[in-house]
Amino acid sequence: MSTGSNPSLPLVLLHGWGMNAAVWDGLPPQLGGLPIQTIELPGHGARTPARADLWAWADACLEAAPEEAVWLGWSLGGLVAQAAALRAPKRVRGLIQLTATPRFVQAADWRPAMAEETLGQFHQGLLDDPSGTLSRFLALQVRGSDAARETLRTLRQELAARPEPDPRALADGLDLLRDEDLRGQLPDIACPALWLFGSHDALVPAAVAERIELIMPGARTQVIAGAAHAPHISHRRETLTAIEGFVAEALG
């Protein structure tokens, strides 16, 4: 399936929970020939918080996005990108999911996910120690990675590069991670899709790839060996190669 022949179609990038657009600073200005445009999630970086609703977050990002684009979302940003593709299918011409999932917490029929208690601990931590909670979340993102120490250092530097996220947005984002479940709506996303996972990811297990292949038979999935939750930092070459290959095929 093709997204069209426009070589200047932008590539919109959405970061994850607690982060900001600085996470993309190490990327080239174009990927697969597509110019990059970063958008910060509501309440992150310099953005004003939206209402505590996934669709409101998607609408806020759509308002800041080009009329048509390929969308790439990392972690929570991936969930928002899924919602944007469902909300405005004619505007999202391709979808790249970077260590993302349609459901972040475990259920009886969805075991490859975080335990709900884990998110509960982060919720409580936000009340007691917001900065310490963000630091612990960063550490969890790199756990098991081949380059954990270097990746954690980079994430901390990027987090410090922009204004601190709004505490309300952090709490709302955790609610989205805990409550949202887009599994039943994924088949409605008709644009080309690529799902990238890290083999050592402690937040979004690589086993999600098998579930995505069942839910979205037309989607491409790939597991990056040795990566955890931030493969665009720890395994940049492999990640960029996968994205560029997908863009070339989807636009071909």
160: domain CATH number?
A: 3.40.50.1820
Query: What is the spatial distance between Cα 71 and Cα 241, in angstroms, rounded to a whole number?
Result: 17
Query: DSSP alpha helices (H): ranges in the chain?
Result: 54-64, 76-87, 116-128, 130-142, 148-160, 167-179, 208-215, 231-234, 236-251
Query: What pLDDT does residue 173 have?
Result: 93
Query: What is the spatial distance between Cα 41 and Cα 216, in angstroms, rounded to a whole number?
Result: 26
201 catalytically annotated: yes
Count how many residues are written for the chain: 252
The 3-state DSSP class for residue 10 equals coil
The 3-state DSSP class for residue 72 equals strand
Which residues are annotated binding-site positions? 17, 75-76, 137-141, 229
Which residues are annotated binding-site positions for substrate? 17, 75-76, 137-141, 229
Q: Which residue has the higher pLDDT, 210 or 161?
A: 210
Are 17 and 170 in contact by the 8 Å Cβ rule? The answer is: yes
7 pLDDT band (50/70/90 cuts)? low
Query: What pLDDT does residue 137 have?
Result: 87
Q: Is residue 222 domain-resident?
A: yes
Query: What pLDDT does residue 175 have?
Result: 93
Q: Is residue 197 domain-resident?
A: yes
Residue 230 has pLDDT above 80, yes or no: yes
Host domain of residue 61: 11-251
Q: Is residue 2 domain-resident?
A: no
Q: Which residue has the higher pLDDT, 110 or 162?
A: 110
Query: What pLDDT does residue 5 have?
Result: 44
Is pTM, for the whole model, over 0.85? yes
Q: Which helix (H) or strand (E) holds 230?
A: none
Q: Is residue 91 domain-resident?
A: yes
**Active-site residue, from 229, 232, 234, 235:** 229
Q: Is residue 122 domain-resident?
A: yes
Q: Is residue 3 domain-resident?
A: no
Q: Is residue 188 domain-resident?
A: yes
Q: Is residue 186 domain-resident?
A: yes
Query: What is the spatial distance between Cα 223 and Cα 56, in angstroms, rounded to a whole number?
Result: 31
Specify the number of domains making up the chain. 1
**Active-site residue, from 59, 201, 232, 234:** 201
